[in-house]
Amino acid sequence: MRKVKLFFKMIDFHESVFALPFAFVSALLATNGRLSWHEVFWLLVAMVSGRSLAMAFNRLVDVEFDARNPRTANNIMPAGLLTKREVIAAIILCGVLFVIAAAQFNRLTLILSPVAIFIMTFYSYTKRFTWTTHLFLGVAMAQVPIAVWLALTGSIPAPAWLLGAAVGCWIAGFDIIFALQDMEADRAEGLHSIPVRFGLANSLWWSRGLHLLALIFFAWVGSLVQANHFYWIGYGLVALLLIIEQAAMASLDMSRLNFAYFKVNGVVSVAFFIFTWLAIKF
């Protein structure tokens, strides 16, 4: 149990709040709220196992960089609290669970599950060769609502693609903010990111642009599904939260990063889910 607790701490399990609600936003829109408990359970298994796999893989391949980064030097793997063999075993287990979960829906989701795993893990290598690494993370997360829609309906209509694009832009936008704190460490390692390439102030403009695109895509989704006023109340709240997030970082005060990254974005995803649920129910 100690090792299990260390594993969940290593992968920042609490950050599941960022993507998990949007998986269920997609589920609600795809089925008009008619979800079985079987579907809910296996969606949860797929989301938790997939994210755990991706995060553990990232920690594994970046362990040498993390050991030399003052911010991460005392993390679980650099500190030797979990071995590489233990983390690899956990990654394999998560991969098996993810494929089993995919098989519960339809043949296509089962066939595509290795592709999803490849996309989730390939992101971890991108900062070694391109400053667009944040966009690759956005693509990895964009597949979540798209895959959920496919799993539940067997098709991927326009709203699914647009919801994926919205989530991808939102994730990429706040990942740029998160990467600001590692800008100097990444530069010293020869790693690539938007902050390394463009500097602190210009990176925030990239983040703002991506969050603006996210809002455009969220609005497009609402228009296509003819969402009622509850959806648009949620949309307005999300827009306000993203403005607050960007305003918090506008002064380039890094002490506000924790608020902008963790607190605001956690509320964004949960709020959007709640108001989408209200839109479907009422």
User: What Å distances lie between residue 232 and 200, 228, 238, CA to CA?
Assistant: 33, 7, 10
pTM of the model: 0.94
**Which residue in 249, 173, 257, 248 sits closest to 217, CA to CA?**
173
**Across the chain, how many H-helices and E-strands are there?**
14, 0
**Domain parsing of the chain, residue ranges:** 2-115+126-281
Structure tokens at 56: 């553990």
Closest CA to 143 of 161, 125, 121, 123: 161
For the segment 261-282, the average pLDDT, to the nearest whole number, is: 90
Residue 106 has pLDDT above 90, yes or no: yes
What is the average pLDDT value for the chain, to the nearest integer? 94
Q: What pLDDT, on a 0 to 100 scale, did the predictor assign at position 254? A: 77
pLDDT of residue 235: 97
CA dihedral 272, 275, 281, 282 (to 10 degrees): -150
Domain formed by 2-115+126-281, architecture: Orthogonal Bundle (1.10)
pLDDT tens string 111-135: 999 999 999 999 999 999 999 999 9
Which ranges in 32-157 belong to alpha helices (H)? 37-61, 63-68, 84-103, 107-126, 133-153
